[in-house]
């Protein structure tokens, strides 16, 4: 049973426009959420995170929004650039020290010229 769901396997966005990647989760005990970016032949790299006490976290072109009541988070990339083409993994973790990170299956983002 998937606790972290990324229902869009892929997404294509025009360069310069906004990319919105979505993620849903089922476990209400999750209290820390992360986005990782993965290029081919490389491991995932940490992109941005958000604690459940916040509903928004921004870092440059990247903003993560958290809607706890809907158990939904999204990653916004504005403006989208060619280098943003990658697979994006949503991940979540509980509040205890031993809680592991649960990953979603990823969404492949294509930035079109």
Give how far the C-alpha of residue 1 lies from the chain's centroid of Cα atoms, to the nearest Å.
19
Non-local (6+) Cβ contacts of 101 within 8 A are 34, 91, 92, 93
Which residue, 60 or 97, is less far from other proteins as judged by CB?
A: 97
- Of the residues 49, 62, 68, 110, which one makes contact with other proteins according to CB under 8 A: 49
Which residue, 65 or 79, is less far from other proteins as judged by CB?
A: 65
Q: Minimum distance from CB of 17 to other proteins (Å)?
A: 26
The span of 13-21, 44-52, 61-69, 74-82 binding other proteins (CB under 8 A) equals: 44-52
What's phi and psi for 82, nearest 5 deg?
-55, -35
Non-local (6+) Cβ contacts of 47 within 8 A are 34, 35, 36, 37, 62, 75, 88
Q: Minimum distance from CB of 70 to other proteins (Å)?
A: 21
Q: Please state, in angstroms and rounded to a whole number, the distance separating the CA atoms of residues 63 and 57.
A: 6
User: Which positions lie near other proteins, rule CB under 8 A?
Assistant: 2, 4, 9, 32, 34, 36, 41-46, 49, 51, 89, 93, 97-106
């Amino acid at each position: 049973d998937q606790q972290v769901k990324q229902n869009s396997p892929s997404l294509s966005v025009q360069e310069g426009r906004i990319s919105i990647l979505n993620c849903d989760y089922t476990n209400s005990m999750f209290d820390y959420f992360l986005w990782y970016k993965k290029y081919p032949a490389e491991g995932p790299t940490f992109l941005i995170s958000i604690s459940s006490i916040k509903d928004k976290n921004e870092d440059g072109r990247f903003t993560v929004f958290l809607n706890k009541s809907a158990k939904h988070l999204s990653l916004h990339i504005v403006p989208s650039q060619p280098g943003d083409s990658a697979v994006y993994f949503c991940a979540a973790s509980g509040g205890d020290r031993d809680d592991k990170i649960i990953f979603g299956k990823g969404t492949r983002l294509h930035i079109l010229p």
